[in-house]
């Protein structure tokens, strides 16, 4: 269990370091920011880092078709370009948050920015898929520090009555980065090549490092205590094993040994982790904080949203570029509908929650998001770009209404000294769900595409051999092998598989909307 700070006299070393604290440190120690100027500076510094993390979570998606052609990537390898980043972030979300609570959030945040820059450079220079996947994992390590600590540092650096509005702005920045990622990535891919999708992060990450070093205040930290690395390692092993099994199921089916063995290992490791945590003297999660309403509800909603959104939207870029023929830049422009609606509504989420109640607002927002996702499931080869953008706008509006208020209420409920652990728990729930969503829903969509192609191919051995290319959305390879007519049919089959993923995502969002009134019953919005 994470321990509270000792209330006795500080050590001699701590006296020397705090006899004459700086103004920022003194303000931090008292829990009161030094006014509006400091608050805006902190928000700007953290927003810059969060924009970078959110940008890289989505900017890579638009580069997948070009990476596929240049490095000869299979469908599972393309999934791992995204999942390596997320798995690394999930594995370190809790230890980084807890370590920041004890040893200093600013120090770890700066280290994360540096690692992110190194991982970005390695990704840009990667000569093969294996190197690219490893470099993406290194990026994820840096992103874990940036993402897990940002919300904690933000909510403990502003007055409590401003948490709701500031978290709304911060969430808008984060999600806008993810939504703008495909546009920025599309322009880079189309103009200078896919490697610059990662290379552009290097100067940006260094700029964040400089700004954060100058603007973020140092704060007194909790007394050092052992960290729970064993549990984090078990979570990592379980995630990787489950993902490998679900990826294998796409090729061999869920009944095969190649799929069942890693899935069984992953579930077994989860059980071991649960037993280990029950007996551990120091646990990964501070349950006294996470049991406070509405933290459990936020964790459940984070899982449902991570599963639904990551799993269903993974193949959107391949659909737009490879199946519907959009250019990388056009693909990015289509996503602006979601960006605009989220940016407009996120800052208003906290105010709307105070007026209408947290539970009704969250239910309404998630229901609207489910409608947007269902509309996307109807996209076909003749659907206009503006229609897809409008569907995404509905999805973005629903999420913009619902989730910032939930995040603000959650962070307001925990003690400031445990904010890092709470933020890490939310980040972990979202990351784990994203990994499983990409693996599970992605595998279902690819299996649907493969089965449909098998039926279409019939007894044609030549067409059956093209199943991996069809599942991966590589219609140029299909066109070269069998001609334009069969390539068009392959694109239609792929589109139907992606539509299945969207329908599953819509169902997940609808379940979250239905559960919200029960999960958030009696919960209050942030003051």
* Segments in 346-384 forming alpha helices (H): 349-356, 358-376
Residue 252: predicted pLDDT = 66
pTM of the full structure: 0.69
Q: Residue 282 carries which DSSP code?
A: S
CA distance 394 to 392: 5
Residue 235: predicted pLDDT = 75
pLDDT digit string, tens, across residues 478-490: 888 888 888 888 8
Check if the beta carbon of residue 490 is closer than 8 Å to that of residue 475: yes
CA distance 426 to 298: 7
CA distance 495 to 377: 9
Residue 372: predicted pLDDT = 94
322-345 in b/e form (b: 16+ CB < 10 A) is: bbbebebbbbbbbbbbbbbbbbeb
Burial class (CB in 10 A: 0-12, 13-18, 19+), 480: exposed
The pLDDT > 90 percentage for the chain reads 12
Helix (H) or strand (E) holding 505: helix 484-519
Position 295 pLDDT exceeds 50 = yes
pLDDT digit string, tens, across residues 178-190: 666 777 877 888 8
Q: What is the average per-residue pLDDT within 439-449?
A: 81
Higher pLDDT, 20 or 208: 208
Tokens of 227: 């960290």
Burial class (CB in 10 A: 0-12, 13-18, 19+), 307: buried
Higher pLDDT, 221 or 113: 113
Residues in the chain: 527
Residue 30: predicted pLDDT = 34
Query: How would residue 115 be classed by pLDDT, with cut points 50, 70 and 90?
Result: very high
In this structure, the number of other CB atoms found within 10 A of the CB of residue 254 comes to 15
Among 217, 229, 212, residue whose Cα is nearest residue 112: 212
Query: How would residue 207 be classed by pLDDT, with cut points 50, 70 and 90?
Result: confident
Position 39 pLDDT exceeds 60 = no
* Distance set, CA 382 to CA 158, 425, 486, 515 (Å): 49, 43, 17, 36
CA distance 184 to 121: 18
421-448 in b/e form (b: 16+ CB < 10 A) is: bbbbbbbbbbbbbbbbbbbbbbbbbbbb
CA distance 162 to 230: 37
Rg (CA), the chain: 23
Position 27 pLDDT exceeds 60 = no
Position 501 pLDDT exceeds 70 = yes
Q: Provide the residue ranges of all domains of the chain, joining segments of one domain with +.
A: 33-217+282-519, 228-281
pLDDT digit string, tens, across residues 393-438: 999 899 888 877 777 777 676 676 666 566 667 767 777 777 778 7
Residue 26: predicted pLDDT = 33
**Torsion over CA: 317, 303, 512, 494 (sign):** positive
- In words, the CATH class of domain 33-217+282-519 is mainly alpha
Residue 35: predicted pLDDT = 42
Query: How would residue 6 be classed by pLDDT, with cut points 50, 70 and 90?
Result: very low
Q: What is the average per-residue pLDDT within 279-304?
A: 71
Check if the beta carbon of residue 510 is closer than 8 Å to that of residue 303: no
Residue 266: predicted pLDDT = 82
């Amino acid at each position: 269990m994470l321990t509270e700070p000792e209330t006795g006299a500080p050590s001699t070393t701590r006296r020397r370091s705090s006899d004459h604290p700086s103004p920022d440190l003194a303000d931090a120690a008292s829990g009161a920011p030094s006014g509006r100027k400091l608050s805006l500076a902190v928000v700007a510094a953290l927003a810059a880092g969060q924009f970078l993390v959110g940008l890289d979570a989505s900017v890579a998606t638009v580069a997948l078709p070009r990476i596929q052609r240049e490095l000869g990537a299979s469908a599972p390898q393309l999934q791992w370009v995204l999942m390596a980043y997320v798995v690394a972030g999930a594995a370190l979300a809790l230890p980084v948050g807890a370590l920041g609570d004890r040893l200093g959030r600013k120090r770890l945040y700066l280290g994360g920015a540096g690692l992110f820059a190194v991982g970005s450079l390695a990704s840009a220079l990667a000569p093969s898929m294996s190197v690219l996947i490893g470099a993406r994992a290194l990026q994820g390590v840096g992103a874990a520090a940036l993402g897990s600590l940002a919300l904690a540092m933000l909510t403990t650096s502003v007055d409590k009555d401003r948490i709701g509005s500031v978290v709304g702005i911060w969430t808008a920045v984060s999600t806008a980065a993810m939504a703008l990622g495909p546009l920025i990535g599309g322009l880079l891919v189309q103009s200078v090549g896919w490697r610059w999708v990662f290379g552009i992060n290097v100067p940006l990450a260094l700029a964040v490092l400089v700004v954060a070093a100058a603007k973020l205040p140092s704060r007194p930290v909790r007394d050092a205590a052992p960290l729970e690395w064993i549990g984090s390692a078990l979570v990592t092993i379980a995630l990787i094993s489950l993902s490998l099994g679900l990826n294998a199921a796409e090729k061999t089916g869920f009944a095969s040994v190649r799929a069942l063995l890693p899935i069984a290992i992953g579930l077994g490791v989860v059980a071991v982790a649960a037993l280990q945590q029950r007996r551990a003297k120091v646990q990964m999660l501070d349950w006294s904080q996470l049991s406070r309403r509405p933290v459990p509800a936020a964790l459940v909603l984070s899982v449902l949203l991570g599963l639904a959104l990551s799993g269903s939207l993974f193949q959107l870029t391949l659909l737009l570029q490879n199946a519907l023929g959009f250019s990388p830049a056009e693909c990015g422009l289509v996503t602006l509908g979601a960006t605009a609606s989220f940016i407009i509504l996120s800052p208003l989420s906290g105010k709307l929650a105070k007026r209408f109640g947290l539970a009704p607002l969250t239910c309404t927002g998630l229901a609207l998001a489910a409608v947007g996702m269902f509309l996307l499931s109807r996209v076909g080869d003749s659907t206009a770009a503006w229609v897809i953008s409008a569907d995404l706008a509905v999805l973005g509006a629903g999420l913009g209404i619902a989730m910032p208020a939930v995040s603000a209420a959650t962070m307001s409920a925990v003690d400031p000294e445990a904010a890092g652990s709470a933020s890490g728990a939310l980040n972990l729930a979202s990351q784990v769900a994203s990994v499983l969503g990409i693996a599970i829903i992605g595998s279902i969509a690819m299996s649907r595409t493969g089965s449909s192609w098998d039926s279409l191919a019939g007894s044609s051995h030549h067409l059956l051999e093209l199943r991996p290319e069809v599942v991966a959305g590589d219609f140029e390879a299909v066109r070269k092998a069998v001609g334009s007519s069969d390539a068009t049919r392959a694109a239609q089959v792929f589109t139907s598989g992606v539509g299945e993923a969207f329908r599953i995502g819509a169902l997940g969002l609808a379940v979250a909307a239905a559960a919200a009134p029960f999960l958030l019953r009696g919960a209050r919005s942030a003051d």
